[in-house]
Chain A
Amino acid sequence: MREITLSKAVNEAIAEEMRRDPTVFLMGEDVAEAGTPFKVLAGLVEEFGTERVIDTPISEPGFVGLAVGAAMTGTRPIVDLMFGDFIFLVMDQLCNQAAKTHYMSGGKLSVPMVLRTNMGATRRSAAQHSQSLHALVAHIPGLKVAMPSSAYEAKGLMKTAIRDNNPVVIFEDKLMYQDKAPVPEEEYLIPFGVANVKREGTDITLIGTSSMVQVAEAAADILASEGISAEVIDPRTIVPLDEETLIKSVKKTSRAIVIDEGHQSYGVTGEIAARLNEKAFYHLDAPVVRMGAMDVPVPFSPALEDITVPTPEGVAAMARKLCSGEMIHAA
């Protein structure tokens, strides 16, 4: 199978959906000729024109608000939010307007829009261009949240998001844009709420989101060389969450670590850990451990930044402790 970058996968997904459905359009800062700073959207304006690939002013609440209204009236906007950190700027439009419109109208209005943005530290971009803020969005009922872990997921989830009749937020890890993965030439979609068991194992379950799937897989390699069999699962969407697959795995392995690049406190790791504790408690041989990003603003200095996010070595070390029955204290 051919291999393409995550960036190309996103681009293909959007182009295919724009060809299929004339109501789909793109808007955001520098999406047209610039194709975004990451060049993810390069070439789209040439094919679809400036009427469907719209450069906006640097007015995040404004253009997200426009997308909400456009989505309510017959179109399917894809809004590009240049950095995930800017989500704080659009919270009212996203969480008070888009998320609640369907419910508040008793099901009469809907907001079929996609907000694509990014996440991920270690790019030396400091505290306002490095955050992973998906948990904030996942907290709000009415929004769906997808977190692709490779080019394959990026394409399949994006196509599903565009066809979904709800507001969907997709967080792409900006450090993975150039990562290649096998992606079929033929069309496919990845349904929301279906986790992917990346690797089967029997001793411990490593649940990772986005780039943390790679971290979990690398940790599983380390552990395999030591005779510990780790199962690696990628939920792919955190809203909806495929609880069933996660619980089934933990019932089998009796141990779990949840790895996510959002801040550890009040985050995705805690949410998934709590659900496993509630629903698989009698099958557990060790506490479910959370491994998120440190609870500090992302520092600039490489010496500091690199230690704020989970690493394969750190995950493997924690897994070793859990499997050896050592008493676990919070990191």
Chain B
Amino acid sequence: MAKAAKTNTEDYLRMYTQMVRIRAFEDNANQLYLSAKMPGLTHMSSGQEAVAVGICEALTPEDKITSTHRGHGHCVAKGAEFKAMFCELLGKEEGYCRGKGGSMHIADQSNGNLGANAIVGGSMGIATGAALSAKMQKTGAVAVCFFGDGATAQGLWYEVMNMAALWGLPVIYACENNGYSEYTRTDEIAAGSITARAEAFGIESYDLDGQDVLAVNDLTQKLVERCRKGEGPFFMNLKTYRYHGHHVGDINREYYRAKDEESEWKTTRDPITNFGKWLEGEKIATTDELIEINNSVRKEAEEAVAYALEAKYPDVSEVDMHVYVA
């Protein structure tokens, strides 16, 4: 674990709890898929919790994020509630998007989440535009653009990085580098260094361990402050790992990823386990207290799932509502 950022016990425990909440959310979402209770597919972010939480804990609700198809973690980390999230995954009226977006488009405007995006790299312009408007309106808000290593192959990123660097926009490009572009190893399809690509635009860039929530949070706090002073944009290449397949149905995946590799990450580099050990070592929490956090989060998640399963679908009259702003 990295040296503690300027923070306190309450912040540490909230970060731990938020990571546990993401894991619990994903486990329940996966179960909903496996038990055929959820329409469609979904993409699990289990294993990547420290990136979402480390970054979002350095932001205020006024700061914006854009998310990805693997976006539940970002949504939870930016402050979303389980009930409205599960309702959205099940297409229910009380979902964040009244059931119209689903897993891949979940957005939570009240907390500054401008939405997940089902086009790989599709939100890079939106995040950069949010930074442009923050600068124009002098709101002091920062935008964080989450995307995966697969998205670094999209031309849009280079277009918007160029403009962000030219105009000094308060945006942080956060690459959740889990090593895989869907079903292909990214090192098979990416030439050179991803970090060097951002540096080529004169953007200050960092490679860091995305499993270390304190390291992620510490750096993000510093970069956010600098963004607010007009020193953005920045790039973070966060090395992380997704425990599941590309999506919940991607079960037999040994043709592109070895089981040994998966179990090594899970047993030695799990962001929640390792942070828990650090909290115990620093005497910030006892084993029992951490177990209690896990139990209460699991209970909250199960209750939210039960609620969402019973919740009502939107009335059919809503089908052509919200095509246009009235």
Contacts and interface: CB of A to CB of B under 8 A. Distances in A.
Interface of A: 23, 25, 51-52, 56-57, 59, 61-75, 77, 92-93, 96-97, 101-110, 112, 141-142, 144, 164-166
Interface stretch (B14-22, B94-102, B305-313): B94-102
B160 A106 contact: no
B323 A66 contact: no
Interface residues of B, number: 46
A169 to B, nearest CB: 14
A104 B98 contact: no
B325 interface: yes
Interface of B: 64, 66, 95-101, 105, 107, 109, 114-115, 117, 119, 122-134, 136-137, 139, 141, 143, 155-156, 159-160, 162-163, 166, 321-325
A138 B321 CA distance: 18
A144 B324 CA distance: 9
Contacts of B119: 92, 96-97
B125 A105 contact: no
Given A56-B163, A108-B97, 4 more contacts: A65-B128, A68-B129, A77-B129, A105-B105
A270 to B, nearest CB: 22
Contacts of B141: 73
B126 A69 contact: yes
Most buried by B among A70, A101, A142, A165: A70
Contact of A106 (B95, B136, B166): B95
B101 A71 contact: no
A69 B325 contact: no
A61 B323 contact: no
- Name the 10 nearest CB pairs between A and B, nearest first: A65-B125, A69-B129, A62-B159, A106-B98, A69-B126, A59-B159, A106-B97, A66-B129, A165-B325, A70-B129
A166 B115 CA distance: 18
B125 A102 contact: no
A19 to B, nearest CB: 16
Contacts of B321: 107
A69 B130 contact: yes
A61 B156 contact: yes
A104 B96 CA distance: 10
B126 A97 contact: yes
A56 B115 CA distance: 25
Contact of A103 (B129, B159, B323): B323
